[in-house]
Amino acid sequence: MGAAMFGSTAFAPHAAANPSTGRARGREVAIFGGGMAGLSAAHELIERGYSVTVYEPSYLGGKARSMPVVGTGKGGRQDLPGEHGFRFFPGCYQHVPNTMSRIPVGDSNVKAAHLVSADALTLGLYGADYRPVIMPASRIGIKKTADTTLQLKNIQNAFIDMFASMKNIPMTEQTYAALRMTVMATSCQERRIGQWDNVSWMNYIKAYQMSADYRTYLATSFTSSLVAAKAQTASARTIGQTALALAYAGSGPLVPQYANGLLQGIDRLLNRPTNEAWIDPWVRYLTSRGVRFVMNTGLSGLRVSGRRITETQVTTSSGATSSVVADWYMTAMPVDRLKPLLTPDVLRAAPGLAGVRQLVDDWMVGIQYYLRKRAGTPTSHIALLGAPWSLTAIFQAEPWGQDIGRTYGDGEVQEILSVDISNWDVPGVLYGKTAKQCTAEEISREVWEQLRRGLNRGGYRLINDDELVRWHLDPGVTWRNGKAFNATPLLVNTAGSYPHRPTAETEISNLFIGGDHVRSNIDLATMEGANESGRRVANAILDRTDSNAERAAIYPLWEPELMDPLKDLDRDRWRQGLPHILDV
């Protein structure tokens, strides 16, 4: 044990307390990071008899956690619930629902008890003069145009149907955007990675040549409603593939792989705050199975010899350092925290990790508004396309099915409007400042104003000043000397980033990488990608230990078989250096 090598021994973490067996096939795993990736790997490994310790400096659940608004609960009620950002579980997610189905709550499980389908999707067009369009879940996707069999034209028509609600975009442009989706659907993997991943979404749908509304709604807003991505830099492959996956997910029985019992549909969500519904029962379950959680402790150094990690350094929140020795090490921390650990020594042993330094993150942050009147709208995420700060939102009371006033706060709050702000670099409409230049108070007023202007249209009145009781911005955003900092930026899948993304296995034989930045089937910085990465790490450790345990399931995204001949044709053209046959 090499604690002295790194300094203080004031803190004795668990894995070190059970030193490595020294065997090449030992079963001691140290996981650094207790977010989605770390918890998923811990889940798979503990169920297969490994000894697992998770080191977490801040909060279990990471970016997927919820947080109480401390001190707001009165009269026996709980504190008002805040979220790092509201949670959206598209119908194409498979890993996350599978994990949820294996977390017990009472005599049920998280998936059965807490994951529910959305009724609709609400599209507000900022700047348009008509009311937001509430699209029932039953009308989204391909099923409207293809009841039993799927044809190529159905895909194009499904997108034209979606775009039809964006009345300001000329029909010819809507049709062109739909054609680009068909191109993506029929492109071979080689072209998707070799060509489309290097093109920005903006260029892919030729937004520069189209109308201003096409640029605003189909390029800029579409990417930032999904993640913190900007259309000018986001990978066309990532955004296009995700749009296809969402359309397929909304296609009900046509895609049994996504149907998942009664929960088919484009959008699913939790019927409680995320921690209450999912993270807390998960941590309880993992603890009951033997996972050890060492809190307030993060990875601060990796010591390499040859192609092996010989020791790791951890640092506690009070600054004390000590070492952890295990058989296998997994980093499950965000990419901005991983970068400084990739020292020249580490990169010499694992040159494949060099690209991590090229990966980019951006800001996406949650703010909640607590209201004294229930909205009474259907369970539906709201995308306010075209809002300067790229806002998406949801009213929580309906999906939670709770009397919020009776459960949380001081009884006054009956509704929670949870909003994600995805663009922090564009001036707002009230102060002419970007979100990064505003104070927290100014941000709360600005977002409220953008929601009011964008959603209260055509006689519709969703946002009412006299209903606002208070607001809560993610405390991870802080200000020092007038400059804003975000403790939890989110990876963005920029054009050309795929080759830089790490795989779960590295050239260092006992080091594995998890997190939403790891290459995954969904290829988008999400809980689903992070969960898949945790499973890939677990499987790699099973391989390295010659385990005969069943491997953790890894699910591909569904793509229709009827595309295969077209993809084969495209593969031939790709090999000959020719463009996609529909790429005009």
Ligand X SMILES: Cc1cc2nc3c(=O)[nH]c(=O)nc-3n(C[C@H](O)[C@H](O)[C@H](O)COP(=O)(O)OP(=O)(O)OC[C@H]3O[C@@H](n4cnc5c(N)ncnc54)[C@H](O)[C@@H]3O)c2cc1C
Q: Which residues bind ligand X (CB under 6 A)?
A: 32-38, 55-59, 62-64, 84-85, 87-88, 298-299, 332-334, 337, 364-366, 420, 490, 515-516, 525-528, 530
CB of 293 to ligand X, least distance (A): 11
| Max intra-chain CA distance, the chain | 72
CB of 260 to ligand X, least distance (A): 16
Residue closer to ligand X by CB (options 371, 419) is 419
Residue closer to ligand X by CB (options 79, 336) is 336
CB of 51 to ligand X, least distance (A): 18
Residue closer to ligand X by CB (options 59, 159) is 59
| Structural contact between residues 353 and 339, judged by C-beta atoms closer than 8 angstroms | no
Residue closer to ligand X by CB (options 55, 201) is 55
Q: What Cα–Cα distance (Å) separates residue 66 from each residue in 73, 273, 278, 287, 322?
A: 16, 6, 10, 20, 30
Residue closer to ligand X by CB (options 336, 467) is 336
CB of 169 to ligand X, least distance (A): 26
Classify residue 579 by its DSSP letter. Answer: P
| 3-class DSSP state of 291 | coil
The beta-strand segments (E) located in 439-576 are: 468-473, 477-480, 483-486, 490-492, 511-513
CB of 175 to ligand X, least distance (A): 30
Residue closer to ligand X by CB (options 264, 526) is 526
Residue closer to ligand X by CB (options 57, 124) is 57
Show the 3-state SS of 208-226: HHCCHHHHHHHHHHHHHHH
Task: For residues 221 and 215, give the distance between their C-alpha atoms in angstroms, rounded to a whole number.
Answer: 8
CB of 274 to ligand X, least distance (A): 9
Residue closer to ligand X by CB (options 154, 486) is 486
Residue closer to ligand X by CB (options 46, 530) is 530
Task: For residues 83 and 90, give the distance between their C-alpha atoms in angstroms, rounded to a whole number.
Answer: 18
Task: For residues 99 and 456, give the distance between their C-alpha atoms in angstroms, rounded to a whole number.
Answer: 39
Non-local CB neighbours of 579 within 8 Å, separated by 6+ positions: 573
Residue nearest to ligand X (CB): 35
Q: How far is CA 492 from the centre of its chain?
A: 10
Q: Which helix (H) or strand (E) holds 532?
A: helix 527-544
Task: For residues 523 and 519, give the distance between their C-alpha atoms in angstroms, rounded to a whole number.
Answer: 6
Task: For residues 428 and 443, give the distance between their C-alpha atoms in angstroms, rounded to a whole number.
Answer: 9
CB of 127 to ligand X, least distance (A): 24
CB of 461 to ligand X, least distance (A): 27
| Structural contact between residues 390 and 224, judged by C-beta atoms closer than 8 angstroms | yes
Task: For residues 342 and 356, give the distance between their C-alpha atoms in angstroms, rounded to a whole number.
Answer: 9
CB of 206 to ligand X, least distance (A): 29
Kindly state the tokens that stand for 426.
């564009």
Residue closer to ligand X by CB (options 64, 146) is 64
Task: For residues 132 and 4, give the distance between their C-alpha atoms in angstroms, rounded to a whole number.
Answer: 62
Q: Residue 60 burial by CB count (10 A; 0-12/13-18/19+): exposed, middle or buried?
A: buried
Q: Which helix (H) or strand (E) holds 192?
A: helix 189-194
DSSP states along 475-515: TTEEEETTEEEESS-EEE-BTT-GGGSPPSB-SSTTEEE-S
CB of 50 to ligand X, least distance (A): 19
